[in-house]
Amino acid sequence: MASEFQHTKLRAMFDAFDVDGDGYLEEADFTALAARWGGLARVRTEADLAARVRDVMLGWWQHLSTTVDTDGAGRISMAGILAMVDRLPSMHETVTATADTVFDAVDENGDGRISRGEHQRLIDVWHGRGIETGSTFDLLDQDGDGYLSRPEFAELWSQFWISDDPTDPGNYLCGPFTGAPTG
């Protein structure tokens, strides 16, 4: 069962994805999310990456709709998202595959690492608007080299979706959120 911390963290994600603000995630929300990601520079110029991004975003909708849309209404509540989170620890490969696609989409110059600016664009696309991130990147960049490598990003991505420990830096990969411990 998802903890209060996970609920708080994922509420920020849910609200960012719920484009029309109706309190449910629907296929149209994931289509809009894919379109937002499609606006990233590298995604716009690389057709295969654009297809991967779209497949990942809409693939998660398909997975959610078949797994947690128990009433068949074509919409997922926050409770459904929290039920899905309970299943994610057993889906590590799927979570990591999503991380790889997101990493490639955000790595605008294709140098195999995510800079502070590229990370800021990830957060802005995630939320659909500009977000003040403060020192979030510094928290994520554990080795202090100014970049997130693919393995670092994969670990942070897994922590974001699975971790219940507020001290895990990955919980803040998609930006700060209300109710998060400050420190």
Encoded tokens for 126:
């995630």
Q: What percentage of the chain reaches a pLDDT higher than 90?
A: 57
Q: Is the pLDDT of residue 94 over 90?
A: no
Contacts of 117 (CB under 8 A, 6+ apart): none
Q: What is the number of other CB atoms lying within 10 angstroms of the CB of residue 107? A: 22
Q: Is 52's pLDDT higher than 80?
A: yes
Give Cα separations from 24 to 28, 50, 141 (angstroms).
11, 26, 33
Highest average pLDDT, of 60-74, 78-92, 106-120, comes from 106-120
- C-alpha 74/C-alpha 108 separation (Å) is 34
Whether residue 63 is predicted with pLDDT greater than 80 in this model: the reply is yes
pLDDT band at 4 (very low <50, low <70, confident <90, very high): confident
Residue given tokens 């209060």 in the structure block: 4
Cα→Cα distances 53→135, 143, 145, 169, Å: 27, 28, 27, 24
